[in-house]
Structures are given as structure tokens and as C-alpha cells.
């Protein structure tokens, strides 16, 4: 069945988004991870993924035009599929695709039921608004419901916060932008939902939400009717066993191609998955929700252990499996992609911080906010990037993008992992402005209050472990940057100067570079300029 792609909520203040660019056109084949469009919000321009596979059947918003949050912007499905019933505001479209409706004629029973299903779906969509899991960050694929602020039966307004959602970057609020009664909650607190998956339905009391849910899963409305009578959506569960049997009676598994592909990727035996689709057909949702039964083999092997006396240790072996947070999953994926796709090379340099230490002490006597050594590194790096634009770049596959703006990402360790708040136009800001902004961003990061525009758009990154006693280390490049600077601690070290041994406060810097866009000599010249600024801080004020 065709699936609707809606305008996601990309910031907490967004009410509509402007299509800045379409990356696909009607008739193109799209994959689940394809970027189909770029959307300009009130805060930033971000990429929109459909998270569905098939053919792009319909584009509802032209380039340069705006769409309300949750409004239909595209439809993806099978080639030639009739999607007119999904368009809430274009009922006249049902007359045009009559030939497409005639195509499934061999399946007599489903075809006969289709008019009733379509009528029920249209009526339900007229009186209700589907709330879907919004795309709250550029790397988000699913979100976990931390808390519901409303319960089924509550009256909600368009500006009410329905729920709080934990993404891979932060915990953010979800607003429904619909007036009415909360008719349905599809994800329990603590559970996760895929981006664009239904999490709630708001509308007129008494609306048949089962018609909407059945259309989403591909099941006929009639199968959902008993659930409506019992007041719960959980009643179809007892049908799971008969569905599996019916699915295999003719020796052939009835499953959608996407469901089969997902099952193969996850190592799931498709024969064990209960089907909720028409005639017991297995759809994507069934594979996503399938939980394999526990295997008895390990227990049997345990009982077969040798009976001979053995050494008994004082303690016992054990381990704790820590579930991955959304943030940790994205860190693993993005840094793996960076490390194994970008050819890293490393440049190291020692910086004498004696003058920087004196300068910092003098600056902090008059500065309205305390200046840290990291603030000085950010400022010096930004000014060095202005002189070496080749380092302030991104590898784009077919070309290198040299960024004219300088946005410095400064890595922060938080409880769940690592996040990189971005200080924008750092080369144009004073040390006190950088320090004020950095402190605010770090506090937000630790409290999971960062907004998407505050942790995206970096052109160069800095990771500082010096305050943790680390002398030097190497860092993995933070995409889409071409380089990242690893900053070690300042350590009193014996040095030789003009044949004389003396002590100096040395800070070790290591820069990881993407050799596709930054050559060794380019990186070396950048580090030399950076070293000059830090060893003589007064030059940053000129």
C-alpha cells in the first residue's frame, strides 16, 4: 500500500516548512535512507528522508512553496498504484485513476471490499489528524517516547505539547498542531517509533481510528472492527497463530518484498512472523514488531555439562548488557562511516603556552566572563581557518565544498555519549562572546536541551581532553568536516632553546585530516598559523 510522507517537525517553533529542493521526481525509485527533499524552516535548512521504499508517485508541494507541519508533501508506493484515497483535500482525484483501480481485478474478494474501506478511511481522515514521529535531527531514524502529557480522551489544542521524545541528540517536545480529542496513542512510554510512524491520532470524538490504522498496516478495516468494539487495539493479537498457519498452507509465504528484505537483514525466519495484512500477508510492520521465541538449545547444552567434580571459583563470571541509547547508536554509525570512508592522516605539533597563560590571566581580570584555554583554541582555530580555507572544507563526493563561513564544533562529553555544539561565525566573535556562547551550549548539551540548529552546521571541530589529564590523542573526523583538532593538556616540560635547557608549558595538538580534501602541506601550514596565534595571543586582537 502507498505510504504518505508528511512535513516533519524540524524545530520546536516550526509551523510550516518551505521546500528548498526536491532530490527526487515523480517516477523515481526511492530507498528508505534516500534524502528526498531539503526543507527550509524558521531555524535552518535540513534534509528530509522518507524512510519508505518504492516509487515516488506524487509530489504535493512545489519547490519554493510551503507546507504545514504534518501536511502531505509526497506519496511513495508501487508503480501505477491508486493513491487518491490518501489525499484528504483532493477527492476529485478518485475519478481520474479509474484504470489503475481495475488492475487488481483477479483478486475478487479484496476488490469488493475496497470501496467500503476507502469510504471509511476518507471519512476518518476528514474528522481526524494523524500525528507521526517527526524528524527532530538530521541523523534521527526513530524516537523514544519519554512521557505522554495527554491521555486518550483528553481534549487537546493545536499548540499543546502531546509528548516528550528522546532522539539521538536531545529530548524534545512534540506538538500535534491539531485541535480535538486524543483518540489513539500508538506508542507506550519507554517504547520507540520509527520516524514518520503513527504515534497518535487527534480528531472528532467517535471517529473510526481503526480505518486509519488498518490502512497504515495494509489490513482491511473489517479486521479492525472487533478492536473498536472492545475499546482496545490489542485484540488482533490472538489471531497471530492462525495467521501463521494460513500463511503457509499452500507452501508459500505471503509477504511484501520489503518485509522479506527486512527479515533477511535481521536474520529472522519469515515463516515465524505473524502476518497482519490482507489474507495473513506479512508486511514491514510485522517484521519490525517481531520478537523471536527464546531458544531451548542453550539450556539443553547446559544440562549436558560433564558431571565430574570441577574447580569452583570464589566468585562467578558475569556481565551486564547495557542497552544502546539513540545517541550511542548514531555515534557508532557516523564515526564508523567517517573512519572507514575518509582516509585519515595525522599531524602533531607542540605549542608553547607560556604567553597564552599570561594573556589569559590578564584578560580574565577585565572580561565579563571567564575565558578558558579551550575558548582561546576555538578563536585561534577560527582565525587560522580564515587564512587556510582549504581546511575549512567538506568532501562532497564529486567536488570539494569550501565553506565561506566558519562554524566551530566543540565536542562535549555527556552521560549518554558525545555531542558537538556549534559556535557559529567564531572568527568574527571576541573571546568573551565565544566563552559566553560556549558555556550556554555546554549547559544545554548536558541537560539535553540543545536544538538541531545548535549541533549542526559545523565546518571544523575541536575535541579537548586536556582537562582530563590526557597529554595527546587522535580524534576521528566529525562529518561533514575535513579535519578535527585533538587538544591535549598543558604540561611543564624541559625544552632546549639556544643551547640552554629551560622549562616551558607545552600543549600538544594533533590534527586528523581527510586526505581526500586536505593535503599534508595544507594541514601543516594551518597548524603553523594556529601555533603562531596561540604562542603570541596579542596577534588575535589585531
Catalytic one of 28, 269, 358, 519: 519
Which residue in the block uniquely carries the three cell numbers 507521526?
132
Q: Can you spell out the DSSP letters for 417-438?
A: EEE--EETTGGGS-HHHHHHHH
Catalytic one of 350, 354, 416, 515: 515
Q: How many CB atoms lie within 10 A of CB 33?
A: 10
Residues 6+ apart with CB under 8 A from 345: 512, 513, 515, 520, 523
Q: How many CB atoms lie within 10 A of CB 390?
A: 18
Give the CA angle between residues 180, 185, 191 to the nearest 5°. Answer: 145
Tally of residues, the chain: 542
515 is annotated as an active-site residue: yes
Q: How many CB atoms lie within 10 A of CB 279?
A: 14
Q: At what angle do helices 373-387 and 354-366 cross, to 10 degrees?
A: 110
519 is annotated as an active-site residue: yes
- Cis bond leading into 158, ω under 30°? no
Q: Do 472 and 491 touch, CB atoms closer than 8 A? A: no
Give the CA angle between residues 205, 208, 211 to the nearest 5°. Answer: 150
Residue 266 to residue 211: CA distance in whole angstroms: 30
Active site residues: 515, 519
Amino acid at each position: 500500500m502507498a505510504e504518505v510522507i508528511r512535513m516533519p517537525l524540524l524545530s520546536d517553533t516550526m509551523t510550516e516548512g518551505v521546500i528548498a529542493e526536491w532530490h527526487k521526481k515523480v517516477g523515481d525509485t526511492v530507498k528508505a535512507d534516500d534524502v528526498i527533499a531539503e526543507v527550509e524552516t524558521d531555524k535552518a535548512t535540513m534534509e528530509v528522508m522518507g524512510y519508505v521504499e518504492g516509487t515516488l508517485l506524487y509530489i504535493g508541494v512545489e519547490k519554493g512553496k510551503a507546507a504545514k507541519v504534518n501536511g502531505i508533501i509526497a506519496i511513495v508506493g508501487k508503480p501505477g498504484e491508486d493513491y487518491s484515497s490518501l489525499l484528504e483535500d483532493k477527492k476529485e482525484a478518485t475519478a481520474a485513476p479509474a484504470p489503475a483501480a481495475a488492475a487488481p481485478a483477479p483478486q475478487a474478494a479484496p476488490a469488493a471490499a475496497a470501496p467500503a474501506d476507502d469510504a471509511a478511511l476518507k471519512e476518518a481522515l476528514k474528522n481526524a489528524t494523524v500525528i507521526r514521529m517527526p524528524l527532530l535531527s538530521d541523523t534521527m531514524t526513530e524516537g523514544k517516547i519519554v512521557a505522554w502529557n495527554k491521555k486518550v480522551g483528553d481534549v487537546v489544542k493545536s499548540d499543546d505539547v502531546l509528548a516528550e521524545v528522546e532522539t539521538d541528540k536531545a529530548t524534545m517536545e512534540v506538538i500535534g498542531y491539531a485541535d480535538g480529542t486524543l483518540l489513539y496513542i500508538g506508542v507506550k512510554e519507554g517504547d520507540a517509533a520509527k520516524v514518520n510512524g503513527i504515534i497518535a491520532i487527534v480528531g472528532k470524538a467517535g471517529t473510526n481510528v481503526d480505518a486509519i490504522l488498518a490502512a497504515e498496516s495494509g489490513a482491511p478495516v473489517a479486521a479492525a472492527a472487533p478492536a473498536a468494539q472492545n475499546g482496545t487495539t490489542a485484540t488482533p493479537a490472538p489471531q497471530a497463530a492462525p495467521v501463521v498457519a494460513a500463511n503457509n498452507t499452500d507452501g508459500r509465504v505471503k509477504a511484501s518484498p520489503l518485509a522479506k528484505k527486512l527479515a533477511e537483514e535481521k536474520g529472522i525466519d519469515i515463516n515465524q512472523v505473524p502476518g497482519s495484512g490482507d489474507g495473513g500477508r506479512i508486511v514491514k510492520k510485522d517484521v519490525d514488531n517481531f520478537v523471536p521465541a527464546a531458544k531451548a538449545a542453550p539450556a539443553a547444552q547446559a544440562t549436558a555439562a560433564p558431571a565430574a567434580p570441577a574447580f569452583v571459583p570464589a566468585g562467578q563470571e558475569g556481565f551486564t548488557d547495557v542497552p544502546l541509547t539513540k545517541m550511542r547508536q548514531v555515534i557508532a554509525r557516523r564515526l564508523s562511516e567517517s573512519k572507514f570512508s575518509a582516509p585519515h592522516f595525522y599531524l602533531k605539533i607542540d605549542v608553547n603556552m607560556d604567553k597564552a597563560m599570561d594573556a589569559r590571566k590578564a584578560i580574565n581580570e577585565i572580561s565579563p566572563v571567564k575565558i578558558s584555554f579551550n575558548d582561546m583554541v576555538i578563536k585561534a582555530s577560527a582565525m587560522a581557518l580564515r587564512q587556510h580555507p582549504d581546511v575549512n572544507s567538506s568532501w562532497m563526493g564529486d567536488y570539494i565544498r569550501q565553506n565561506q563561513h566558519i562554524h566551530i564544533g566543540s565536542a562535549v562529553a555527556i552521560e549518554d555519549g558525545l555531542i558537538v555544539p556549534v559556535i557559529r561565525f567564531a572568527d568574527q566573535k571576541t573571546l568573551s562572546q565565544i566563552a559566553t556562547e560556549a558555556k550556554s551550549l555546554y549547559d544545554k548539551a548536558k541537560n539535553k536541551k540543545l536544538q538541531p540548529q545548535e549541533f549542526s552546521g559545523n565546518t571544523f571541530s575541536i575535541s579537548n581532553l586536556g582537562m582530563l589529564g590526557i597529554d595527546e590523542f587522535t580524534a576521528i573526523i566529525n562529518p561533514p568536516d575535513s579535519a578535527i583538532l585533538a587538544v591535549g593538556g598543558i604540561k611543564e616540560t624541559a625544552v632546549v632553546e639556544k643551547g640552554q635547557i629551560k622549562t616551558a608549558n607545552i600543549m600538544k595538538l594533533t590534527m586528523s585530516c581527510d586526505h581526500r580534501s586536505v593535503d599534508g602541506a595544507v594541514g601543516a601550514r594551518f597548524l603553523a598559523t594556529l601555533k603562531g596565534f596561540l604562542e603570541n595571543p596579542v596577534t588575535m586582537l589585531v
